[in-house]
Amino acid sequence: MKFIAPNLALHLLGILPFLSLAALASPSSAQTRLPSNLMPQPANIKQTAGALRIDANFTVALSGHTEPRLQRASERFLTQLHRQTALLFAKTSSDAAKATLVVHTDHASKEIQELGEDESYSLEVTATGAKLNAANPLGVLRGLQTFLQLVEVTPGGFAAPAVTIEDQPRFPWRGLMIDVSRHFIPLGVLKRNLDGMEAVKMNVFHWHLSENQGFRVESKKFPKLHELGSDGLYYTQEEIHDFIIYARDRGIRVVPEFDMPGHSTAWFVGYPELASGSGPYSVERRWGIFDPAIDPTREDTYKFLDELIAEMAKLFPDNYFHIGGDEVNGKEWDANKKIQEFKKSHNLKTNEDLQAYFSQRVQKLVTKHGKAVVGWDEVFIPGVPKDIVIQSWRGQQSLAAAAQQGYHGILSNGYYLDLGWSAARHYAVDPMSGAAAGLTDDQKKLILGGESCMWSEYVDPENIDSRIWPRNAAIAERFWSPQSVTDSSSRVSGSDPALTLYSRLDVESARLEWLGLTHRSYYHKMLQRIAGPASPEEFAALRNLADVVEPVKDYTREQTAPVEPNSQLPLSRLVDAVSLESDAGRHFSELVDKFLAASCRDTATAYELRTQLALWSQNDAAFATLALKSALAQEAVLTSRDLSAIGTVGLRALDAIATGKPLATDQQSQLNSVLSEAAKPKAQLILIPAAALRKLIDAASQPNTCAPAKP
Amino acid sequence: MKFIAPNLALHLLGILPFLSLAALASPSSAQTRLPSNLMPQPANIKQTAGALRIDANFTVALSGHTEPRLQRASERFLTQLHRQTALLFAKTSSDAAKATLVVHTDHASKEIQELGEDESYSLEVTATGAKLNAANPLGVLRGLQTFLQLVEVTPGGFAAPAVTIEDQPRFPWRGLMIDVSRHFIPLGVLKRNLDGMEAVKMNVFHWHLSENQGFRVESKKFPKLHELGSDGLYYTQEEIHDFIIYARDRGIRVVPEFDMPGHSTAWFVGYPELASGSGPYSVERRWGIFDPAIDPTREDTYKFLDELIAEMAKLFPDNYFHIGGDEVNGKEWDANKKIQEFKKSHNLKTNEDLQAYFSQRVQKLVTKHGKAVVGWDEVFIPGVPKDIVIQSWRGQQSLAAAAQQGYHGILSNGYYLDLGWSAARHYAVDPMSGAAAGLTDDQKKLILGGESCMWSEYVDPENIDSRIWPRNAAIAERFWSPQSVTDSSSRVSGSDPALTLYSRLDVESARLEWLGLTHRSYYHKMLQRIAGPASPEEFAALRNLADVVEPVKDYTREQTAPVEPNSQLPLSRLVDAVSLESDAGRHFSELVDKFLAASCRDTATAYELRTQLALWSQNDAAFATLALKSALAQEAVLTSRDLSAIGTVGLRALDAIATGKPLATDQQSQLNSVLSEAAKPKAQLILIPAAALRKLIDAASQPNTCAPAKP
């Protein structure tokens, strides 16, 4: 038996704690890299000399203002640091004089977290220790996450580079909305998403709690809301209370949304008298915009809402209360004679006027119970009180219009996670761009930030994490970091040329997995369901295919559904399993670009391309036998054939390039027609490599594609 | 946009529940296969015509004897069926007349589950419904798991083949032992392992609760046991109570072990007066056999044990109480004059005699508190009461010796999960083989079964599942299924030639993941820690390497440790992350066999081999750059070089075979010496493909390796 000499590495990882520390090399190589994986990037960072080794002796001490929440944050911090490093830290907290990381908090934050509270912090890491200072616990929470992101494995063990960071958020409202109504999402899943939000410094959880498809909160005042309107899937008030504490521990406000007067069918199952139609109503199973709407003309409606809002305003301590307000189609109003008469007698010309009347009355109730209103674009109507916050699903223009009239707004247009956009595309959306860019400085201050939105038509507890993460981390950076931080700027800001948005997302993604999110691990499980008792070769064929397809984008899935989608359909199809953004597809595209940019005689890249293409060209054989066995695999048979077809196309293009014989026009058009067919979505899946292959055919059609070999 | 016609498949998956059922094709193709993935295989199974479709209308009804445990089992069953199929089942239980699966239970089982209770059941599945009958709830629990395993995706959707099963266990004691003392394992991890045990019909959880490294149970009588002997890592009595209910729900007995008189250093931290040495004692951090042992000569010792056993016998309701008894080295006894005098005055010649004296007195205490004793081989001494159960870590021979004298025994030798054996190797061990095969029928009845053992020197909450599963499922089958069920028999019992132990383990492994076990998902997370901020290419290189190495086997890790291992070392090395049994290594070996068995002109296999070998031969380039960045990757640099070297060796062998020019003797010996070097473990890792490559070199050295191409 022969043993090599990894001992130095082992020492530095704490694997030889009994040896003298003096014998250990300094992890000086950590000095040569800028901290590469901060997400969101801090407002100000300066690198200094050296690095702080992280080993089992690492300790944290709290000084200044203390409270149990800070103690819990420090324990959570050590747990996560353990997950990242596997180091076993001493349980006992230590005094400030000796601790590795000394946290100083000036004073308490507000008892109920408020919009705009100070979240700034400063963090100084040197080779001998680290200091985190913040005005209040919120800044401490943010700074602890930054510290965790600084810790990396280095040649000398785990270390945090020496840096000085002064950081504060760009926007005070940095939210994630989750729709728990179209598909019910259990609290455990929501909690791990709060953990993810904390990791990327988001501070508002917007809880979309009621919809046509479900009313998800226990109401003691009106129990038929949850008893008849939720299929038994709701949160008790006690659970909600605990959840809010959990969020507060992470510096996250919880804003509840009760969407009205539309999107409210589930309310009417138990309380049909609230509706504008004659009922009876049942919990909606389909997706879409539906007719049922609250009757805005009956005084009893406002009596009911007064009592409900009173109850919910007490349950949810946040200052803001979201009343929805979106997408009322007015059909029930039009069909109701009494409502028509009411409109006439109150001089309300349009249904928009009627909704404005309703909104104003509801806003007064919300105000009466001590809260400020948040609503979707539709609630922004002339004369609403100035403390309202407009959440724009329409875009920067409507946000700008509101700001010009002195109203606060947050942007969600561009941040809809369910549309399947790439992280880079979401990341490029800025609340201050477009119409908002032209606002005065004072008006700009009215734009409070934004929220990403996870609408839940096609997510369930199994795949929801994968639809939120890691893309949401890019959006979180957009809300926290200075506007100047962009993908292209991050590519050059450090010494490491690979420091792209995606390389940072990769690292953040791993951290989020350690936190307990399942956005990667779900994938194998869902593929196994589709594969059933597949052979290893068949399973590999399924995975090869799944790795390079994405669901159709935007609302195409809705519009092209082979059967009418609804809440009772299992989300077990390939389109539910695959990632919204194919890493393998992106890597292939980069590989093609690299091949074409370099000399075609770059044989290593050519070999890699050829291996990949050959794999695809042969992949359908095993997939086809799987599809004969599994009904869940069956719908992807044509996509699988397309993948093999484009693999063969790519090989022919490579051959043409390698031999220097350009494709003839008819060959070229034949290959292009294969690509065109493959580029058509089938089974609601997009075959990602098709686009990159077109470049390869173009290159193969040029006579002088290859630069001459350099001698 | 073009849509294909997957609608039939979608219907059958419940994706079109609004269509008439009559329009649906029967999933008749499920008839053509024997149920392939039952594990453990039932005692008797007969396939009949047709299959039972499983869709969203599936319901379960309980009839006959009922109790809340059966209701919970039925809910758990539906939850797991949902995880397997993603189908959304109605929540309401239905009456027997209409239910798809009707469960009938004759009567209650014992209030405290007993050894040898009836666990038999019969299960009849037809195209129209299923009936599960059992004498008591234990049989129902077993049968529900069989039903879950019958459900598979088929061309026509999910279905269970029509079968008639009459099943009962071969052995009444089918256990898993987990050592929670060397590394503390939290209850959540243990619970998911109970779920896994239920899935494979194991019925005893042996809880190794005390060790030199920790006393893990709250004692109200002697609180310094857990307060000073556990580093704060122990289970409260309330938690234990809940855990036992959780186990009982799954038909699992909980047998606690308090190991004495050795393996007890942690007891002495709080109660040094119990020890034979002079102390002081501290919780042991190292692994191994240590000197401290209980003083068997003082009457106060037995007074203490009387009270402790009284307390623990009440806390753990099972009839059996494990007192350990293994590995006393006697050094503290030899060094203690009073003990030496006691031996003389009591005519105890050896330390074995002294331990026998101790054991007998402890056994009397256990009996006094209403329990029967289980102990390791060492407690089997002439004259012990007949109700004792010997747990043999030594092997079938000592089990047979005990049986010949009328003592019960269970086998653990051959089932130590920590030794890194393959599933096939564990599976080949039979409690009735070797010396036990020669016992009379009456003596054979004394062999109650066996237990797999998870000793925890090298497991922690992160990787423990991967060290237990899926291999433990093979052991569970050994304990449940008839002796005639072997890997080779299972290969031919069905119509599917791929029905090997490993193909069934693969399927079972997926099911275990759906249950919440992390034996596969942990892998990526641990590799990410090692990789740190690696590029995608570097990460792939790490994974390629990790996929084909295994930890050194048996006690080699202990014996060859580069630094003295102990409980404070993080389990973050590659050897902690990689699987104990490399799937990729096994597949490669099968591929080589296939290539050599077929004509060498089997170009598809040759291509697959070549691709794999080329990948390996190039793999070290990216790994080497990673190793420069990560201290955790660093120790594998030589193993990575070896992998690339054997990849190149394999390519040269393939070339020789392809060209028909056999390797010259010196070439052959040169390549073999590369393999020999690669076959030496480094960084405590074994490079698995090295063995299969030797076959390839042998073939490449033969002049007429290739059969002539068939015309």
Q: State pLDDT tens for residues A382-436.
A: 778 888 999 999 999 999 999 999 999 999 999 999 999 999 999 999 999 999 9
CB contact under 8 A, A630 and B153: yes
Paired tokens of A34: 């800028």
Average confidence score pLDDT of chain A: 91
Determine the Cα–Cα distance for residues B255 and B375; give it in Å rounded to an integer: 11
B156 touches chain A (CB under 8 A): yes
Phi-psi category of residue A64: left, alpha or beta, with phi > 0 → left and psi -120 to 50 → alpha: left
Q: What average pLDDT does the segment B49-53 reach?
A: 95
Residues B199/B163, Cβ–Cβ less than 8 Å? no
Determine the Cα–Cα distance for residues B203 and B476; give it in Å rounded to an integer: 10
Task: Give the total residue count for chain B.
Answer: 711
Strand B210-211 to B214-215 pairing: antiparallel
pLDDT at A707 over 70: no
Strand A372-376 to A389-392 pairing: parallel
pLDDT score, position B337: 97
pLDDT score, position B96: 79
Q: Which residues of A touch B157 (CB under 8 A)?
A: 631
Paired tokens of B319: 């009839």
B635 touches chain A (CB under 8 A): yes
DSSP E strand stretches across A426-573: 447-454, 549-551
Paired tokens of B170: 């071969």
Q: Report DSSP letters for B611-656, one per residue.
A: HHHHHHHHHHHHHHHHHHH-HHHHTTHHHHHHHHHHHHHHHHHHHH
Residues B122/B133, Cβ–Cβ less than 8 Å? yes
* Burial class of residue B624 in the structure, from the number of CB atoms within 10 Å of its CB (0-12 exposed, 13-18 middle, 19+ buried): middle
DSSP E strand stretches across A566-630: none
Q: What average pLDDT does the segment A531-546 reach?
A: 93
Hey, what amino acid is at A261?
P
CB contact under 8 A, B680 and A4: no
Angle at which helix A536-547 crosses helix A637-659, to 10 degrees, equals: 80
> Using one digit for the tens of pLDDT, what is the confidence trace for A235-264?
999 999 999 999 999 999 999 999 999 999
User: ipTM exceeding 0.85?
Assistant: yes
CB contact under 8 A, A571 and B86: yes
* Burial class of residue B21 in the structure, from the number of CB atoms within 10 Å of its CB (0-12 exposed, 13-18 middle, 19+ buried): exposed
Confidence band of B92 (pLDDT split at 50, 70, 90): low
Residue A161: phi, psi to the nearest 5?
-65, 150
CB contact under 8 A, B10 and A562: yes
Phi-psi category of residue B232: left, alpha or beta, with phi > 0 → left and psi -120 to 50 → alpha: left
pLDDT score, position A19: 30
Report percent pLDDT > 70 for chain B: 91
With CA atoms as reference, the chain A residue closest to B610 would be A611
B640 touches chain A (CB under 8 A): no
Hey, what amino acid is at A594?
K
pLDDT score, position A490: 52
Q: Which residues of B touch A528 (CB under 8 A)?
A: 510, 513
pLDDT at A12 over 50: no
Q: Classify each residue of B54-86 as buried b or exposed e, where b means 16 or more C-beta atoms within 10 Å of its C-beta.
A: bbbebbbbbebbeeebbeebbebbbebbbbbbb
Residues B389/B408, Cβ–Cβ less than 8 Å? yes
Question: Which residue of the set A114, A166, A327, A558 is catalytic?
Answer: A327
Q: Which residues of B touch A7 (CB under 8 A)?
A: 562-563
Chain B contact probe: residue of A463, A572, A673 with most B CBs at under 10 A: A572
* Nearest alpha carbon to residue A605 among A617, A588, A618: A588
A361 touches chain B (CB under 8 A): no
Return residues 581-610 of B near A (CB < 8 Å): 583, 587
**Closest CA of chain A from B349, distance in Å:** 41
Q: What average pLDDT does the segment B488-513 reach?
A: 71
The SS3 call for residue B349 is coil
The SS3 call for residue A452 is strand
Strand A121-125 to A130-134 pairing: antiparallel
Residues B71/A556, Cβ–Cβ less than 8 Å? no
CB contact under 8 A, A153 and B529: yes
User: What is the pTM assigned to this prediction?
Assistant: 0.92
Residues A324/A375, Cβ–Cβ less than 8 Å? yes
B547 touches chain A (CB under 8 A): no
Confidence band of B252 (pLDDT split at 50, 70, 90): very high
Q: Which residue has the tokens 């409900």?
A: A308
CB contact under 8 A, B56 and A154: no
* Nearest by CB: A560 against B3, B7, B528: B3
Return residues 63-82 of A near B (CB < 8 Å): none
pLDDT at A506 over 60: yes
Determine the Cα–Cα distance for residues A413 and B360; give it in Å rounded to an integer: 77
CB contact under 8 A, B682 and A583: no
Hey, what amino acid is at A46?
K
**Closest CA of chain B from A60, distance in Å:** 19
Determine the Cα–Cα distance for residues A597 and B242; give it in Å rounded to an integer: 64
Residues A208/A179, Cβ–Cβ less than 8 Å? yes
Q: How many CB atoms lie within 10 A of CB A615?
A: 16
Chain A contact probe: residue of B151, B529, B612, B634 with most A CBs at under 10 A: B634
A286 touches chain B (CB under 8 A): no
Determine the Cα–Cα distance for residues B481 and B501; give it in Å rounded to an integer: 13
Residues B426/B486, Cβ–Cβ less than 8 Å? no
Chain B contact probe: residue of A555, A632, A676, A687 with most B CBs at under 10 A: A632
Greater pLDDT, A195 or B563: A195
Q: Which residue has the tokens 């309701």?
A: B317
CB contact under 8 A, A631 and B12: yes
Q: Which residues of B touch A4 (CB under 8 A)?
A: 635, 637-638, 682-683
A327 is catalytic: yes
Q: Report DSSP letters for B6-28, one per residue.
A: -HHHHIIIII-TTS-GGGSPP-G
pLDDT score, position B498: 46
SS (H, E, C) A612-660: HHHHHHHHHHHHHHHHHHCHHHHCCHHHHHHHHHHHHHHHHHHHHHHHC
A12 touches chain B (CB under 8 A): yes
> Using one digit for the tens of pLDDT, what is the confidence trace for A583-618?
999 999 999 999 998 865 678 889 889 999 999 999
Paired tokens of B708: 């002539």
Paired tokens of A376: 């979707």
Question: Which residue of the set B117, B166, B327, B608 is catalytic?
Answer: B327
CB contact under 8 A, B570 and A86: yes
A227 touches chain B (CB under 8 A): no
CB contact under 8 A, A16 and B563: yes
> Using one digit for the tens of pLDDT, what is the confidence trace for B552-588?
999 999 888 888 889 999 999 999 999 999 999 999 9
Q: How many CB atoms lie within 10 A of CB A426?
A: 19
> Using one digit for the tens of pLDDT, what is the confidence trace for A19-38?
332 333 333 333 334 566 89
**Chain A / chain B CB contacts < 8 angstroms:** 202
Residues A204/A174, Cβ–Cβ less than 8 Å? yes
Report percent pLDDT > 90 for chain B: 82
CB contact under 8 A, A156 and B682: no
Determine the Cα–Cα distance for residues B222 and B270; give it in Å rounded to an integer: 9
B560 touches chain A (CB under 8 A): yes
Residues B265/B290, Cβ–Cβ less than 8 Å? yes
pLDDT score, position A15: 42
Residue B335: phi, psi to the nearest 5?
-85, -5
CB contact under 8 A, A153 and B611: no
The SS3 call for residue B36 is coil
Determine the Cα–Cα distance for residues A359 and A323; give it in Å rounded to an integer: 8
Q: What average pLDDT does the segment A161-170 reach?
A: 97
pLDDT score, position B503: 86
pLDDT score, position A533: 81
pLDDT score, position A2: 32
- In whole angstroms, how large is the CA radius of gyration of chain B? 28
Q: Which residues of B touch A608 (CB under 8 A)?
A: none
Confidence band of A475 (pLDDT split at 50, 70, 90): very high
CB contact under 8 A, A510 and B525: yes
* Nearest alpha carbon to residue A265 among A253, A257, A252, A277: A277
The answer to whether the peptide bond before residue B470 is cis (omega within 30 degrees of 0) is: yes
* Burial class of residue A381 in the structure, from the number of CB atoms within 10 Å of its CB (0-12 exposed, 13-18 middle, 19+ buried): middle
Return residues 436-495 of A near B (CB < 8 Å): 462
Determine the Cα–Cα distance for residues A657 and A648; give it in Å rounded to an integer: 14
* Burial class of residue B318 in the structure, from the number of CB atoms within 10 Å of its CB (0-12 exposed, 13-18 middle, 19+ buried): buried
> Using one digit for the tens of pLDDT, what is the confidence trace for B306-345?
999 999 999 999 999 999 998 899 999 999 999 999 999 9
Determine the Cα–Cα distance for residues A409 and A445; give it in Å rounded to an integer: 10
pLDDT score, position A581: 96
Residue A618: phi, psi to the nearest 5?
-95, -5
Torsion angle (degrees, nearest 10) of CA A515, A518, A521, A525:
150
Determine the Cα–Cα distance for residues B555 and B54; give it in Å rounded to an integer: 47
The SS3 call for residue B506 is helix
Q: What average pLDDT does the segment A202-210 reach?
A: 98
> Using one digit for the tens of pLDDT, what is the confidence trace for A50-81?
999 999 999 999 999 999 999 999 999 999 99
**Nearby residues of A699 by Cβ (< 8 Å), 6 or more positions away:** A596, A600, A653, A657, A705
Q: What average pLDDT does the segment B72-92 reach?
A: 92
Determine the Cα–Cα distance for residues B468 and B452; give it in Å rounded to an integer: 9
